[in-house]
Amino acid sequence: MTDLNEYQKDDLLISFCHIDKLLLEFECVLDVTIPRSPLQQYINDVDSDSLVKIKEKCDCLRQAMCRILREKDISIGKPNLSVLNKINVSLVFADIAIEELGPQHMKGYGKLSASATEELNAMVKELKELLKGIKANLPE
């Protein structure tokens, strides 16, 4: 392979990171054999033999990308993002989504009866408490 300048090396690394992220996304979907979520949007229509082959091919693709990066003397670096931070950020967004289910926001879709307002407030309160339970179990 020919030499690449620093910008080209950066682009190569960024592209490989993007490809890896795409692989991770669909591998997570492949791992959903018994969905824990009742709101799961995917059905498992990949047989176990295909699943094994797909994962093996993903590993081969990753190995090739790593080999190319080594050949080009491009440092991959070390992971620098916190799983705990990602969970906390996701919980903030979940909290916002729950808040937006409250009657003050739902009024925008039409008039609410007093009982509907009460039910929505109770639902939001319940969901927020459950969300707090998740957060309370996270390490500091």
Is 24 within the bounds of a domain?
yes
Quote the tokens at residue 139: 């390490």
CA of residue 95 relative to chain centroid, distance: 17
Higher-scoring residue by pLDDT: 41, 47: 47
Number of domains in the chain: 2
At residue 35, the pLDDT reads 64
Gyration radius of the chain's alpha carbons: 23
Please report which confidence band the pLDDT of residue 74 belongs to, taking 50, 70 and 90 as the band edges: very high
Indicate whether 16 and 58 sit together in one domain: yes
pLDDT in tens, 106-140: 989 999 999 999 999 999 999 999 999 999 999 98
What confidence score (pLDDT) does residue 100 get? 96
Query: How many residues can be counted in the chain?
Result: 140
- Whether residues 60 and 108 share a domain: the answer is no
Give the integer Cα–Cα distance in Å for 18 and 30.
19
| Domain extent at residue 47 | 6-71
Q: What global pTM score does this model have?
A: 0.75
Split at pLDDT 50, 70, 90, the class of 55 is very high
Q: Indicate whether 1 pLDDT > 80.
A: no
- 77 occurs within a structural domain: no
- Quick count: other Cβ atoms within 10 Å of Cβ 11? 12
